[in-house]
Structure 1
Amino acid sequence: MIYIETERLILRPYKQEDVAAFIRLNSDPEVMRYFLEKKTPEESEVMMQKFNRNIEADGFGAFAVEEKATQQFIGFIGLNTFTFEMDFAPAVEVLWRLLPEFWNKGYATEGAKACLDFAQKQLNLNRVYAFTTVSNKASEQVMIKSGMTYVKNFNHPLVPVDHPLLEHKLYVKEYN
């Protein structure tokens, strides 16, 4: 089943044949440099199953992304409900993670824009957030190109206080 389709991408639930690439995505040092740790193969499989359960239960989630031209799994883009202790939570975020060979092609922005549109038109949300560590300039550019507005910097409550990834930038897309 396809949930969201763009000119070049299909956002859908995960298939068994996505497992190897999903594991590679979450264990790649370059992909995971802005996260606390890489995922083990077992953690990635559990994560993928959780993503599918969320999609099935809620009608949205962190979708598998398939490149239309090749029908190849290239990463995930989607919407996620976060509940950590912050003045803007609980809320829905748009998120993305792509394999490095698919960076700098506009795929993250294309998928994020489609998810923001889906959030407004299908889910009737008033706002969607996105956040990243202050050093992740590429993700921040996706937020800007997706029409999101900078809100503030904040210390992520799930990151240790002495960790270099503690400070994050928060962006929002608001719908009237």
Structure 2
Amino acid sequence: MLTTDRLLLRRWRDSDREPFAALNADPEVMRYFPSVLTREGSDAMIDRLDAGIEARGFGLWAVERRDTAAFIGFVGLSRPSFDPALADQVEIGWRLAREAWGRGFATEAAREAARFAFDPDGADLDALISFTAAVNEPSRRVMRRIGMPHDTADDFVHPGLEAGHPLAPHVLYRLTRAS
């Protein structure tokens, strides 16, 4: 469990399933993904995410506001599985409910996840990546706010999408322990 002034990054609970399903069914939240998720898909994602935390000691944690105890989404660390070229990397990522946007929660939680990633008593990693559809300016702003530089040489076409799909062009940002 990680804490910030306003947030708690924690393991998943059964009580997170309903609000997470609502978040994943919101077309505005999912506009930079190929589609929304069904309730079944959302529940399966929670099961995978929590199993990853159990196995590695880190993962995409559920995020809760400390003042209201409201679940607002996830932030954390994961290993990308869609592209063998990225399989040995650790990604920092986030997805928050629309009502949590514009308050600095993603940046605050991502900074804490990055701190944990590089902490010798945490994940003890040397580097993190983050990527998104090139058109996803809100996520790109979070990447820049947490100090992740962007090198266009690292950009790629998402292998799970057709080359002409508007979400296929992806940008990749990196952060190292030495940064």
TM-score range normalised by the length of the shorter chain: over 0.9
In structure 2, distance between residues paired with 1:167 and 1:50: 26
In structure 2, distance between residues paired with 1:39 and 1:88: 24
**More deviation in 14-23 or 77-86?**
77-86
**Within the alignment, does 1:168 sit opposite 2:170 as a pair?**
yes
Corresponding residue of 1:148: 148
- Preserved CA contact (<8 Å) 1:83 1:91: no
Corresponding residue of 1:110: 108
State how 1:1-176 maps to structure 2 within 5 Å. 3-85=1-83, 87-121=85-119, 122-152=122-152, 153-176=155-178
Q: Specify which structure has the higher proportion of strand.
A: 1
Identity of aligned residues (%): 41
- Preserved CA contact (<8 Å) 2:118 2:177: yes
Residue 161 of structure 1 and its aligned partner are, at CA, apart by 1.6
Give secondary structure in 1 for the equivalent of 2:165: coil
TM-score (norm 2): 0.93
Where does the alignment leave 5 or more consecutive residues of structure 1 unmatched? Answer: none
**More deviation in 7-16 or 152-161?**
152-161
Residue 87 of structure 1 and its aligned partner are, at CA, apart by 4.4
Where does the alignment leave 5 or more consecutive residues of structure 2 unmatched? Answer: none
TM-score (norm 1): 0.95
RMSD of aligned C-alpha atoms? 1.1
Residue 16 of structure 1 and its aligned partner are, at CA, apart by 1.0
Give secondary structure in 1 for the equivalent of 2:72: strand
Give secondary structure in 2 for the equivalent of 1:171: strand
